[in-house]
Amino acid sequence: MNTEEAIDMASKLYAARKASRQLLGERWREHMQFIGEAIKLCQNRTGMDTIQAAMKMCERCHANGGPATDSVHILSAAVELVEPSE
């Protein structure tokens, strides 16, 4: 991945975190902890890094008919694992 692609991806991931915060409000932190644990389990099973594991979870979620907002929250939790907010 070149620098421009990495910056574009980071921007989208930060936007997902912001959207997730807005959607969940004060429940956001609790949801991020729960989803973060699921991402860690996926990482342990697959050997993928945090973002790859989250993207795999998003794919599975969509394949099983999950709502699009689930992906926003999964990606938000991945960002929190990689770069926790204050």
Q: What is the pLDDT of residue 55?
A: 94
Hey, where are the domains in the chain?
3-82
**DSSP code of 79?**
H
Q: What is the pLDDT of residue 43?
A: 96
Percent of the chain with pLDDT over 90: 88
**Segments of the chain with pLDDT less than 50:** none
Contacts 24+ apart (CB under 8 A), 57-65: none
Q: How far apart are CA 54 and CA 68, in angstroms?
A: 14
Percent of the chain with pLDDT over 70: 100
DSSP string, 41-69: HHHHHH---HHHHHHHHHHHHHHTT--HH
**Residue 69 amino acid letter:** T
Q: How far apart are CA 54 and CA 48, in angstroms?
A: 9
